Amino acid sequence: MKYTFKQPGLPALILALMTLPAAADTPLPGLSAPKPETPAAAPKLTALEEARAVAAKGDVAKAAAILKAAAEKGDAVAAINYGEMCLAGSGVKASAVEALQWFELAADKGNALGKFRQAQVYQAGADSVPKDEDRAQFLINAAATEGQGDAQHALGAAAEQAGRKADAASEREKHFAEALGWYEKAAAQNQPQALLAMAKFLDQGLGGAEKDPAKGMEYSFKAAQVGLLSAIMDMGSRYLQGRGIRADNVAALGWFLVAAEGGSSDGMIRLGQAYENGQGVPPNFGKAAAWYASAAKLNAPPGQFLLARLQEEGRGIEKNLVYAYVNYLLAADGGMDEAVARKQAVKAQLTPAQLKEAENLMASAAKGDPAKKK
């Protein structure tokens, strides 16, 4: 049966009152005058929010002072962020010793991230702080036990690394199972790297996890949503390969574009390859060269190699054997074996004047001059 909602009838007196015109600021009989709305007070900014706003305006020193003042009053979040500024020398004099003191204060206030930040300093070592792996491990274990996601991911990564180095299958699986346990705990807190690690473990069925690429894709997507570039790239690869989701070259390119615009040289190279091979887009060697050049500017050896190949062949870009030789040379220096043979082949075609030009370009590259990026 279909029911029809009817507006309840209003008393006749109220209806009459509602139709009467009212003098300005005069309440209707029997009704109280509406009180003017008082604008809600703007919520008070936290010290971190205030510091970020000040830093965005260019006054990093003032931002540091705001955080330090709040940290001195016991604000653990401010203490951690001020400690990081001390580590980086941002707005204050760089000091790992002072950074440790602020991280310790945060930890004493119950913020486990403070312990993890201390551990990172002891792992790296800096100025007056010698490396201390045992102390770092103790702090990471303590932070992870207290539920700190970054520390839990760190323990998972260490266990995974041990598993990949193990020779015996039983030993390998034992470490992978430990890694999975830590990754699950960190992923439950949306720790980005742990989310991506869970995706990998589910893709491959590691550590006792049931192989499930579709579920792995869900974890990868969560990590991509919070901006993890490696997860954004993974999403593009999944669409390209049809891993855990229906293959879709156009969707793959969309993810690679997001990664490229976020500064990922891998994303730039993938886009270049798509345009070169007509994968999801019409072939366009000019756009391929442009994306390879963007990756080459970030000193990515594959980008340098692929750009050099187009420069050597004159596809999508003006043929220039000098630039091709320089980019092959840079790619070879970056560890690309296939660039070694190509640089020798191109070098054999250069005149003494061109070789001199190439030497000048390499000298500029060593100084960070953008000439190498042509």
Q: What is the model's pLDDT at position 372?
A: 43
- Other CB atoms within 10 A of residue 108 CB: 13
Q: Rounded to whole angstroms, how far apart are CA atoms 28 and 36?
A: 16
Q: Rounded to whole angstroms, how far apart are CA atoms 201 and 212?
A: 9
Q: Rounded to whole angstroms, how far apart are CA atoms 90 and 183?
A: 32
Instruction: Give the least confident one: 43-47, 117-121, 200-204.
Output: 43-47
Non-local (6+) Cβ contacts of 56 within 8 A are none
Q: Rounded to whole angstroms, how far apart are CA atoms 318 and 89?
A: 44
List the end-to-end C-alpha distance of the chain, in Å, as a whole number. Answer: 75
Burial of 194 (0-12, 13-18, 19+ CB in 10 A): buried
Q: What is the model's pLDDT at position 198?
A: 98
Residue 15 has pLDDT above 50, yes or no: no
Residue 7 has pLDDT above 80, yes or no: no
Q: What is the average pLDDT score of the chain? A: 88
Non-local (6+) Cβ contacts of 130 within 8 A are none
Average pLDDT over residues 39-46: 75
Structure tokens at 270: 């993938």
* Contact (CB, 8 A) for 252 and 240: yes
Q: Rounded to whole angstroms, how far apart are CA atoms 76 and 110?
A: 8
pLDDT per position as a tens digit, 181-198: 999 999 999 999 999 999
Q: What is the dihedral of CA 257, 259, 261, 266, to 10 degrees?
A: -90
Rg over alpha carbons for the chain, rounded to the nearest Å, is 30
Q: What is the model's pLDDT at position 5?
A: 32
Q: What is the model's pLDDT at position 44?
A: 83
Non-local (6+) Cβ contacts of 159 within 8 A are 175, 176, 178, 179, 182
Check residues 233 and 29 and name the one with the higher pLDDT: 233
Nearest to 339 by CA among 351, 329, 353, 350: 329
Tell me the CA distances in angstroms from 306 to 285, 319, 328, 348, 364, one per residue in order: 11, 14, 9, 20, 21
pLDDT per position as a tens digit, 122-133: 999 877 899 999
| 115-118 contact pairs (CB < 8 A, 24+) | 115/139, 115/140, 115/142, 115/143, 115/146, 115/148, 115/151, 116/140, 116/143, 116/148, 116/150, 116/151, 116/154, 117/80, 117/83, 117/84
Q: Rounded to whole angstroms, how far apart are CA atoms 200 and 88?
A: 33
Nearest to 323 by CA among 307, 339, 335: 307
Q: What is the model's pLDDT at position 14?
A: 31
pLDDT per position as a tens digit, 213-269: 999 999 999 999 999 999 999 999 999 999 999 999 999 999 999 999 999 999 999
Q: What are phi and psi of 359, to 5 degrees?
A: -60, -40
Instruction: Give the least confident one: 1-5, 96-100, 240-244.
Output: 1-5
Q: What is the model's pLDDT at position 69?
A: 96
Q: What is the model's pLDDT at position 183?
A: 98
Q: What is the model's pLDDT at position 1?
A: 40
- Our CA angle for 297, 301, 306, nearest 5°, is 85
pTM: 0.79
Residue 21 has pLDDT above 50, yes or no: no
Q: What is the model's pLDDT at position 365?
A: 76
Instruction: Give the least confident one: 16-30, 86-100, 318-332.
Output: 16-30
Average pLDDT over residues 121-145: 93
